Chains A and B, each alone.
Chain A
């Protein structure tokens, strides 16, 4: 994967780079070549020639680096026993999310599984709110009631804890887009582990029958918990497993490749051709969740090798510096800012308070029909209260 995207042409070399402002790079645009896409039942795929502006380069770098920092902070908070229960980290997979999000229009939606922190941030939620959800505090995205796996935003339907269940849900979100004529598509994400769930194939079938604009994205990080994809799947060519649904294999460690595939997928699905499957080949550095050291079913060397040769952030950084889209000082400054931002968010997420006990019986129903909710004994009657802005109330 190393060097899969190489600098192809870059005509303008600015010899006076030493005098440049640290906030502006010498080149405003560069072109790269991605690793070839593998196609299933498609005559043409995404373009392997990718153009990137310096503005976008900085944006993507910032987004990927922010996700990495959020996840590092989440891992630390877990080790400090401040984050409870489950905590699944996205480190190593950042290019998948940032690449897709880069192409989203206002009408496009996304639903994912339980590795949701990065997506929540990308869909507009402040890192402080993501981290506060992890610490279970009131400034959390779901007021601390959802935790690591259940966060939401406009066009972002979570954060789902049941492996594979989000797949038909995503098809349903896409069905709604078609029904309402919004022109949007739904990116429906699942891992290589969930790819074997029966309901995935039920959703494939119906979405193809009904030409639902759903982009099924199998983020193949190589392992479903501790079972490698080869040990769990009779076919690991996940992009072909929609059978009658066309598919694309994408280098999920290259944000530009993912972006091009997402561009293609949106065009394809919103032109009425029905669903598409997209496999992003990626890797997770951490264990499945925090209770998994991630070393019994794979070697430390394997993880180290990916970190050194395929890391989505490092490789992108080298690429954009090499193309003179940004300079190293600029990136150092960004790193510093992100670190400060996340450090501050962590501090506030720790200091924040939990919601009051009265919210135990809050928002069970959008239209509650009873005012009283039973507590742990008949002597502990609770009051149903409404707090959140139910989006489908009327």
Chain B
């Protein structure tokens, strides 16, 4: 930290212990069904393929292998080789084919085995998919979803551990989604497939196997979540945590820990990185007067940087009692070394410490 944060708002902390844990209603959660993120994604694609004949999946190992991460499991058996297409390991070629098919009226889901490999194809994501609608003055829109695991996995070193949230979010013409749990994954993927614009859908490998409670409403075939709207995962009055994907999990865990010392953090799950639901963030900051962004991606020109800049340019700035702080991946390529990998990624204690520093406790 290049500066010491000495200013805080003690008044907010004095009446902290007022609504301690009242909101946790465990019986309702237990009554709900559980679903893994993987199944949520799989069922979303299944629903949409059933709903619209033009929807098809292509990518490496999506068909006979059932998906490198088993996200497309069973779909090849159900829909056949016309609609679930195994491609050779040639990203720029199949991404280009997918974009061309979208221009000509289909609704492709283009799976990248991981988003690290999307770099081979980034020209088609940016130049062919994102810009064509504008360049054609609103004639040729490109309804396509690019999806796959993004961000750091575990023990896979630098070339396979990178978050592309900031990269793709920078480009107008794209919509960028980064879901956290099963509800997000299902509702947002279905929305993405139905959307007439190109959508980059950033999943997280480490979350695929996680179970999350879901309601019957989420399982409904017509369930979709609005793209561009964040969700407040946890209410709190003292500080705002804004995060996406795996970062939400970290933020929730940090909030739980802080709660035991009387600090109530509000946790915002961004869900979409573009559009960014800055209004939800501002409204929260106006109440909490403190904000920390949390992401696994690099700090430089990252999602947190954008949030910070947008807060500076909004009325929320005048409500801040402390500077905006970013908790991010370290500014280094990902090491394979286990201890170093841990040090390169934000941990719960990093968030807890940052929050305490910010609040002056």
Contact = CB atoms under 8 A, between A and B. Distances in A.
Interface of A: 109, 111, 142-143, 145-146, 150, 152, 157-162, 165, 167-177, 179-180, 186, 198-199, 201-203, 205-206, 209-210, 362-367, 369-370, 373, 378, 386-394
Contact of A179 (B101, B103, B124, B127): B101
B138 A390 contact: yes
Contacts of A205: 88, 90, 93
Given A168-B93, A363-B134, 10 more contacts: A145-B134, A157-B100, A162-B128, A165-B123, A168-B94, A175-B101, A179-B101, A202-B88, A366-B141, A392-B142
Nearest to B103: A157
Interface in B121-139: 123-124, 127-128, 132-139
A172 B99 contact: yes
Contacts of A390: 133, 138-141, 196
Contacts of A365: 133, 173, 175, 197
Residue of A179, A180, A388 contacting most chain B CB atoms (<10 Å):
A179
A160 B87 CA distance: 24
Contacts of A373: 172
Q: Which 10 residue pairs spanning A and B have beta carbons closest together?
A: A388-B138, A172-B100, A202-B93, A168-B96, A363-B138, A176-B104, A169-B100, A366-B141, A202-B90, A172-B97
Main SS at interface, chain A: loop
Contact of B85 (A143, A210, A364): A210
A391 B141 contact: yes
Contact of B140 (A209, A369, A391): A391
B98 interface: yes
B254 interface: no
A369 B93 contact: no
A113 to B, nearest CB: 13
A309 B36 CA distance: 71
A158 B87 CA distance: 26
* Most central of A205, A363, A373, A392 by chain B CB within 10 Å: A392
A52 to B, nearest CB: 32
Nearest to B127: A162
Interface residues of B, number: 50
Contact of A146 (B97, B103, B136): B136
Contact of B196 (A176, A186, A367): A367
Given A152-B140, A365-B133, A169 B128 contact: yes
Contacts of B103: 157, 169, 172-173, 176, 392
A367 B227 CA distance: 11
B106 interface: yes
A369 B175 contact: yes
Nearest to B98: A172
B151 interface: no
Interface in B19-60: 54, 56
Given A143-B137, A165-B123, A198 B92 contact: yes
Contacts of B128: 160, 162, 165, 169
Given A177-B104, A389-B139, A206 B313 contact: no
A146 B138 CA distance: 11
Contact of A176 (B93, B101, B136, B139): B101
Contact of B197 (A109, A174, A367): A367
Contacts of B124: 165, 168-169
A176 B87 CA distance: 16
Given A158-B136, A366-B133, A172 B104 contact: yes
Contact of A202 (B54, B92, B105, B141): B92
Contacts of A173: 100-101, 103-104
A369 B132 contact: no
A111 B104 CA distance: 11
Contact of A387 (B85, B135, B137, B197): B137
B103 to A, nearest CB: 6
B102 to A, nearest CB: 7
A146 B140 CA distance: 12
Interface in B103-128: 103-106, 123-124, 127-128
Nearest to A133: B137
A392 B196 CA distance: 7
B175 A387 contact: no
B141 A179 contact: no
A368 to B, nearest CB: 9
B262 interface: no
A176 B100 contact: yes
Contacts of A158: 132, 135-136, 140
29 contacts: A145-B134, A145-B135, A150-B136, A157-B104, A158-B132, A158-B140, A159-B135, A165-B124, A168-B96, A168-B100, A171-B93, A172-B98, A172-B99, A172-B104, A175-B97, A176-B103, A179-B101, A180-B105, A199-B93, A203-B97, A206-B94, A365-B133, A366-B143, A369-B228, A390-B138, A390-B140, A392-B103, A392-B196, A394-B196
B9 to A, nearest CB: 26
A369 B275 contact: yes
A158 B104 CA distance: 12
Contacts of B142: 392
A146 B135 CA distance: 5
Nearest to A188: B100
A203 B124 CA distance: 13
B100 A362 contact: no
B207 to A, nearest CB: 24
Nearest to B91: A202
Contacts of A186: 104
Interface in B267-295: 275
